[in-house]
Amino acid sequence: FIMDADPERQKAEHTTVLIDWPVESPAPTTCAFVYSESRCPPSLEVLLTRERAARDREELNGLYVAMTRARECLIISSTERRYAASGASRGAVATGGPVYANWWQRLQPCLRPWPLSLDEGLPPEAADSRIACLALPTLTRSSLGLEPHPVSMDAPELMPSDSTISRVGQAVHLALQWITLSQNQSRDGAVQAAARQLRVATEKVAEVVQRILTSPACAPFFDRRPGGWAANEVAITVQGQVQRIDRLVAMPQAQGGMCWWVLDYKLHESPQTLPAYRAQLLAYAQAVSQLQPGELVRCAFITGQGEVVEIL
């Protein structure tokens, strides 16, 4: 059950604390108390924007966790508002782009009314209740992630915890994510922090990261190009299951439009030879194609040797 999914709009936060603590630093580089977010000093605006984006991410993470606890049926409720409100004032949040809806508004297109009638003893006022449910697909061991999966840098939960190679791959993935997340992120600091977190040798992680970031073939996917777009750990739905693309890059084309690159990090020297890897990557590309109709979508592995292996 998810209760009160469309709550009354909360009073905007006025006072906050902003902390900038790079992963490689032993202490924060900035710590500031802001009396009013609406009157944030210009020197702290970037940090405040980052903080708001983190809040929005946590809001979505909370919804994801709440929904994925269900196994057969998900029931969602909300209460009628005292006053009518527009979408932007009904708990919607902005993430640097369009305004996104709250939990009730996000899920409403997928819901159906709760299948109870007044004949079942509900009071008359319940006729207007905002209760809905979402029937979930039949789950199998495979859909629950209980079957063996190929080792990948992007799925730590599917890897043997004692595998050094797996942990090196995870550390490389994490370091690349941190490095590409911010222009101010130190490459060495990110590598050291990722290696420390995954308990592997820094030299092994640094070697792979260096090969990837200095590779001429990989360079276009990590450069910040005007008019382009890139993101890490992009969540998509593949056959009813939430999956994550290691890196998704959109590049402007000379003839107009965008070319979308679906990239999957693999330490394996020849990931294209493994059918499971190929099928997974092609499924990611198909999902992106459905989200970007009419635009070109290509997909490739980025190997631990710094090679780009496109899959057609």
Structure confidence by residue, pLDDT tens digits, 76-118: 888 766 655 444 333 443 333 334 468 888 787 777 776 554 4
Residue 283: per-residue pLDDT: 92
Position 304, amino acid: G
Rounded CA-CA distance 35/50 in Å is 17
Rounded CA-CA distance 60/67 in Å is 11
Structure confidence by residue, pLDDT tens digits, 24-41: 788 999 999 998 888 889
Residue 239 has pLDDT above 60, yes or no: yes
8-state DSSP, 71: S
Residue 225: per-residue pLDDT: 73
Mean pLDDT across the chain: 77
What tokens does 36 get? 């009013």
Rounded CA-CA distance 298/261 in Å is 5
The answer to whether residues 156 and 169 touch, using CB atoms and an 8 Å cutoff, is no
Please list the residues that pair with 75 across neighbouring strands. 133
Structure confidence by residue, pLDDT tens digits, 241-290: 778 899 999 998 888 888 999 999 998 778 888 888 999 999 999 999 98
3-class DSSP state for residue 186? coil
Angstrom distances, CA of residue 269 to CA of 196, 208, 266, 285, 304? 25, 12, 8, 21, 7
Structure confidence by residue, pLDDT tens digits, 148-176: 333 334 333 333 344 778 889 889 998 99
Q: Please count the other Cβ atoms lying within 10 Å of the Cβ belonging to residue 166.
A: 21
Q: Residue 227 contacts by C-beta under 8 Å, 6 or more apart in sequence?
A: 252
